[in-house]
Amino acid sequence: MLKRLAGLGWIGWLLCAAGAVLLAVLANLYIIVARPFGATLGIPIDQTGPVGAVIAAIVPYVWLFLYAGMGTTFWLLAAKDQRMSGRAWLVVALVLLCVGYPVYTGSLNQPIVALIGNGVVLAVAAIAVWAIWPISKRGAGLLVPVIAWVSLASVALVALITGQTF
């Protein structure tokens, strides 16, 4: 299957990037649809100060780009390996962790659970960057913004948990 995907050229890339972005849209849709039922009240990052307010305002848009980067990384690996390698599975795991993030953070409304989830995402993303770098520097580089964004969100979560402003 990946051999066929790689053979599609830019159409294969578009399918991977757009498919990943669609997952981001679905995750955001879950947040909107479940909110009236109290399932995604969320974590009040905007209450941590001016940086937290900016993070809260732009988070859905940032994730669209991050998902596109993860989808592109998957396509780059498909083009190189033409099989479902361990590196490709790391990208799939990272995407699935990110898709599940609104469920285990917003639904549980527990900042400490979100912080633990961020730690898992950071670990998987860092391992993926390390594993992908020798094969595709561009693909690895596209995952670095995930690490940066989730690190920033983690700092905001620590500020929220400790009652600090950020």
Longest dimension (CA), the chain: 52
The domain limits of the chain are 2-162
- Please give the pLDDT value at position 133: 97
66 neighbors 146 (Cβ within 8 angstroms): yes
Q: What per-residue confidence (pLDDT) applies to 157? A: 86
Per-residue three-class SS string for 129-162? HHHHCCCCHHHHHHHHHHHHHHHHHHHHHHHHHH
pLDDT score of 29 = 81
8 Å CB contact between 64 and 24: yes
> Mean pLDDT of successive 10-residue segments in the chain (166 residues)?
74 90 86 66 75 84 94 92 86 94 71 90 98 96 97 89 84
Q: What is the pLDDT of residue 39?
A: 59
Q: What's the confidence (pLDDT) of residue 146?
A: 98
Burial code (b: 16+ CB inside 10 Å, e: under 16) for 96-132 equals: ebbbebbbebbbbeebeebbebbeebbebbeebbebb
pLDDT computed for residue 9 by the predictor: 82
